[in-house]
Amino acid sequence: MIKSLLSIGSMTILFAVVICQPLLADQAMSMKDSVQVEDTAMLQDVRLDIIYDNYPHPEGEITLWGFSCLIRNTQKTILFDAGDQGDSLMANMAALGIDPKIIELVVISHDHADHTRGLGRLIPESQSPQVILLESFSSELKEQVKVLGGKVVENSKSVEICPYVFTTGEMQGRATEQALVLQTRGGLIVITGCAHPGVVNIVKCAREMLEGEILLVMGGFHLLQHSREAVNGIISELQDLSVKYVAPTHCTGDIPRQIFKDAYGDNFIELEIGSTITLSDLMDEK
């Protein structure tokens, strides 16, 4: 199912009160497009490439703490988070054959360095992308994006950033965070940075925002200091929410990832740098 594209070597748990903000049509961004999505109901295909993660490719590659995912076959090419080091981000993109100039939108999940520092190299090497930040993010991050040549777009509520691609808007947890929700013909795909507000809360928010079953939840689940019992409880809740596939990575933790794998079996997706997921893979289309 998952394809690897790289070919070169190289706590205290806090209760999160989450308010899922409703979609506001008048807040949807107006974006003129060079790439068109087929005007049916929902995305017809999606391609997700992991280009920064702390789980290595088997052949070895630049592996550092952080996360970044490229989203393609949407009306705009989107980078979700930018990892911790720009040089490593650029090196991995080069190894994957990805030209940073194709990136039109950048969405930052939360204002932590392991998701933002890669912007220092990314923005100058792309073509002045729009960078979608929560209003509550630091003024320092917003100013840095502007100085680098990016176009800051702030939001606090759920917004459709391009057709069938939505941000949850601001959700509260150990860190204020937003996730992405993709509305596809196979169901909803939820992408998280660290899931500080709780991965179950984020999935519930997605289901409140949009119609459709949850096809996939992927990204950082932030379960490093959770007990086995707590992780099993989270899995049970996700299964009750009919989450079909899970792909936990980054800050999820090795033991929690194994627990997810044991619970989900063939519907567990093991991510690493260079992994690719397509909608066709998830729907078992040949």
* pLDDT for 213: 95
23 pLDDT band (50/70/90 cuts)? very low
pTM recorded for the entire structure: 0.87
Is beta strand 159-162 parallel, antiparallel or unpaired with respect to 151-155?
unpaired
Mapped onto helix, strand or coil, the DSSP state of residue 12 is coil
Q: Residues 100-125: pLDDT tens digits?
A: 999 999 999 999 999 999 999 999 99
* pLDDT for 284: 82
Q: Are 193 and 220 in contact (CB under 8 A)?
A: yes
* pLDDT for 38: 42
Identify the CATH number of the domain defined by range 43-278.
3.60.15.10
CA 138 from chain centre, in angstroms, equals 20
Domain boundary assignment for the chain: 43-278
pLDDT at 26 over 80: no
* pLDDT for 127: 87
* pLDDT for 36: 37
**Mean predicted lDDT score pLDDT of the chain:** 87
| Calpha distance 99→84 (Å, rounded) | 19
Name the percent of the chain lying above pLDDT 90: 77
* pLDDT for 40: 59
* pLDDT for 22: 46
* pLDDT for 15: 29
Name the percent of the chain lying above pLDDT 70: 84
**Quick one: which of 185, 194, 167 has its CA closest to 37?**
185
Low-confidence winner among 3-7, 175-179, 220-224 (lowest mean pLDDT):
3-7
Q: Residues 214-250: pLDDT tens digits?
A: 999 999 999 998 999 999 999 999 999 999 999 999 9
* Torsion on CA atoms 194, 196, 200, 205, rounded to nearest 10: -100
* pLDDT for 21: 58
* pLDDT for 225: 87
Task: Name the amino acid, one letter, at 126.
Answer: S
Structure token pair of residue 197: 């507000």
The backbone torsions φ and ψ at residue 208, rounded to the nearest 5 degrees and listed phi first, read: -75, -35
Interacting residues of 39 by C-beta distance below 8 A, sequence separation 6+: none
pLDDT at 4 over 80: no
Length of the chain: 286
57 HSE (CA, 13 A, CB side): 24
260 HSE (CA, 13 A, CB side): 29
Structure token pair of residue 107: 């969405």
* pLDDT for 62: 74
Q: Residues 35-87: pLDDT tens digits?
A: 333 445 699 999 999 999 999 876 656 778 899 999 999 999 999 999 999 99
